[in-house]
Structure 1
Amino acid sequence: MKLKAIVLASVFTLGLPSFALAASEPEGPHITTSGNATIKAAPDMATLNIQVNERAKDAAQAKKQVDERVAKYFAFLKENGVVKEDIDAANIRTQPNYEYDKKAERSVINGYTATRTVNVKIKKLEQLNTLLDGALAAGLNEINNVEFGVNNPEQYKTKAREVAIKNAIDQATSVAKGFGADLGAVYSVSYRAPEATPYPIAQVRMDAMALKAQAPAAVQETYEQQSIEFKDYVDVVFELKRTK
């Protein structure tokens, strides 16, 4: 998997107090830098969100029909190597359907709809189309979205942090040298931990009937595997030494 690092950094002060970090700065000559990094990764996994709806005269029958379709898809997933731990389909909802009775001049129940959602984690992207086709064949009639991600996000978080730290050091070293000084010891570090989900997730929403009508080649083109970004930031205060 290829990695691409985009690095941005800015120098806030050189031997001057910063109001934002005044409490964490030394009295002597110093430099404050901010290292930023963005690591881009190509997705290698995806999560499917699929829904099935069934209507029937009574709620029990609607639920039964939905459960049968989900069970059929479960069997298909098992045949294709998807483990139970990567499937979530525990939720189900039933609700009455109403129509207006002109004679009674009121709304009356004319049946029930059962809805069940299935989330499937796909750890091998080459299975994506196959598992989508299997969902449609099993009667799961609405594909809500496809969320792309990576199987091991921690390696990218670590890489982003390392690049941000290196960037702060490189910027501080370069600027200090330009002013005839050497970088001294680290006086303080202010680390801004990234968010729990530090990257935008590419999403695709598809209508089941439209998906069925497309040729396999056209279906593949609907999935744009956008780069996923992992960001990190760090502020560092270095002491300065005069160049001998």
Structure 2
Amino acid sequence: MKARTFLFLLASIAVGDAVAQVNALPPTRHILVYGDAQARAIPDRFKITLNFESVNLDPDAARRSVEANVQKVLEQLRSAGVPDNEIVATSLSIDSKERYDEKTEEEVFVGTEVSRTLTARFSSQKELETFLAGIKTSRELTISDVSTQLSDEPALRAALREKTIASSREKADVIAKAYGARISGIYSVSDVAPQFDYGIRAGTWPQTFDWIDTFGERGRTLDRIQVAGAREAAPNAATSLQTGYVTFQDKIYTVFLLAD
């Protein structure tokens, strides 16, 4: 009896949550709009991930090999201008290494595998290229990833959120006036697309606006915002890495209450 009661309560809670999501709209007149912002910025930080690995029947020999490679790379990173606080290394990982023998159809012990991972962040593309020009990869030293970052990303995202909020308000004002109404208040705000009886879900909302640079041309407008960075002058010779734009997006869903 208790078990049935418990299951009934769980089912009731689940149904209640589903109903709350579907009926997340006010019973009075309202308008639901989404505000969105998109900005492109030139990354000014470059992060690289290096992997060190050695397999040997002698575990200590494998450890010494990994440590030697790590120390060598650390010297190269410092020579390339990377400060110590921008370098992070994991602890040693030790495990057995096996390979599959197709003839015997068995796993064959190869030795002890010692591994370690190191990440470093460069403050310029030039520093990264200097480092790459001097490093030699091998079976025991590999590069698994090079990614771009933006040093002032938190500030950029905060600015995008302000533009997103302004965008939702402007859209609501325009639509309300077109139908002879006005905005009287806000019912709810969320950065997650609601699910409701309209039949619209997160995946079917219209595409975001493309916020493009317009400074100095037609002036600033609400849905066209400039976010630019400083690009170094291109050298005469072709470079091995090309810095592209990184796109940042923000979207918010707001339910506004309407009045005559």
SS of the equivalent of 1:157 reads helix
Q: Is the partner of 1:219 in helix, strand or coil? A: coil
CA RMSD in angstroms comes to 3.4
Aligned in 2, Cα 1:111/1:168: closer, same or farther, shift over 3 Å? Answer: closer
Given that 1:69 and 1:139 are in contact with CA atoms closer than 8 Å, whether structure 2 keeps it comes out as: no
Report the counterpart of residue 70 of structure 2 in structure 1: 70
**Correspondence 1:227 to 2:246:** yes
Q: Percent identity?
A: 21
Instruction: Name the count of aligned residue pairs.
Output: 194
The one of 222, 236, 239 equivalent to 2:255 is: 236
Distance 1:228 1:123, change over 3 A: farther
Query: Structure 2 length normalisation: TM-score?
Result: 0.61
Q: Secondary structure in 2 aligned to 1:136?
A: coil
Comparing both structures, which one devotes a greater share of its residues to strand? 1
List alignment gaps of at least 5 residues for structure 2: 1-21, 194-236
Higher RCO by CA contacts (8 Å cutoff, separation 6 or greater): 2
For the residues of structure 2 that align with 1:150 and 1:20, how far apart are their CA atoms? 40
How far apart are the structure 1 equivalents of 2:118 and 2:42?
A: 25
Residues 46 and 148, structure 2, Cα contact 8 Å, conserved in 1: yes
Distance 2:131 2:259 in 1: 59
CA distance in 2, matches of 1:217, 1:139: 29
Deviation for aligned residue 1:35: 1.5
Unaligned segments of structure 1, at least 5 residues: 1-18, 195-215
Relative distance call for 1:111 and 1:179 in structure 2 (3 A) is closer
Map 1:103-182 → 2, pairs under 5 A:
109=109, 111-136=111-136, 141-181=141-181
Please point out which of 22, 26, 30 is paired with 2:25: 22
1:188 alignment partner in structure 2? 187
After TM superposition, give the deviation of residue 141 of structure 1 in Å: 2.5
Query: Who is 1:32 aligned against?
Result: 32
Q: Which moved further from structure 2: 140-149 or 223-232?
A: 223-232
